[in-house]
């Protein structure tokens, strides 16, 4: 991809990258491949990624990927049971549900530098451990989860440290599109974000290139 800025070592936050999204109707999948997540992986391959943070809510306990195992190792498993570790386990359970991470992202979730993180406090602890100041947020959906989840942009904007920078890639960000089916019902159709979404957003964005914005 032309025009990729030099961000140095960066991390990626994957918000609600549910496998079910691949089976919805799409207007634009963010690239030439026939799946949004495959296009996301291709786009992210242009960056020097040092950490993969998976912020997957409603996560089914039936599908345990390595990022979740790494969360237990880092935040929960210990000979000494502390209040922090008890809270970390509670945070994990509160994020539970029936969804699973996209199967296309399993390889990234299996990376030794991948971790599931459900809270902003846990994320900041991870930032201290990894010493990564630059983060790209991807996933969906733009107006809800990407903004309102604990690692969403609204919380990031209010709480980020002065040395931290956060970015968004339009082609790696899902948004909903309403589409009339029969006059009485509506069907939710997915697409990816465009420049207009950033220009009209409640937060202020700087355009870095045709496919990257900085918060």
Cα–Cα dist 149/130, whole Å: 22
Q: Which pairs count as long-range contacts for 155-161, CB under 8 Å and 24+ apart, including other chains?
A: 155/120, 156/120, 156/215, 157/203, 157/215, 159/120, 159/124, 161/124, 161/127
* Domain boundaries, position 136: 10-214
Residue 4: inside a domain, yes or no? Answer: no
Cα–Cα dist 90/87, whole Å: 5
Model pTM score: 0.91
Residue 57: inside a domain, yes or no? Answer: yes
User: Pairing between strand 114-116 and 10-15?
Assistant: unpaired
Number of domains in the chain: 1
What's 24's domain CATH number?
3.40.50
Residue 3: inside a domain, yes or no? Answer: no
Tens place of pLDDT for every residue, the chain, 215 residues? 444 556 678 999 999 999 999 999 999 999 999 999 999 999 999 999 999 999 999 989 888 899 999 999 988 887 666 778 888 888 888 888 999 999 999 999 999 999 999 999 999 999 999 999 999 999 999 999 999 999 999 999 999 888 999 999 999 999 988 655 555 556 678 999 999 999 999 999 999 999 999 99
């Amino acid at each position: 991809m032309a025009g990729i800025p030099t961000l140095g070592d960066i991390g990626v936050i994957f918000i609600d990258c549910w496998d079910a999204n691949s089976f919805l109707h799409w207007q634009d999948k963010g690239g030439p491949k026939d799946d949004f997540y495959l296009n996301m992986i291709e786009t992210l391959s242009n960056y020097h990624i040092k950490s993969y943070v998976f912020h997957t809510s409603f996560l089914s306990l039936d599908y345990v990927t390595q990022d979740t195992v790494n969360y237990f190792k880092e935040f929960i498993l210990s000979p000494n049971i502390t209040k922090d570790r008890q809270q970390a386990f509670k945070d994990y359970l509160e994020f539970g549900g029936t969804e699973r991470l996209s199967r296309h992202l399993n390889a990234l979730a299996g990376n030794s530098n991948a971790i599931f993180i459900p809270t902003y406090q846990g994320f900041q602890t991870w930032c201290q451990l990894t010493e990564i100041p630059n983060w790209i947020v991807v996933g969906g959906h733009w107006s809800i989860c990407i903004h309102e989840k604990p690692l969403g942009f609204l919380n990031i904007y209010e709480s980020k440290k002065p040395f931290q920078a956060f970015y968004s890639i339009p082609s790696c960000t899902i948004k909903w599109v309403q589409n009339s089916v029969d006059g009485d019902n509506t069907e939710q159709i997915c697409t990816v974000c465009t420049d207009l979404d950033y220009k009209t957003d409640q937060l202020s964005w700087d355009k870095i290139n045709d496919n990257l914005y900085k918060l």
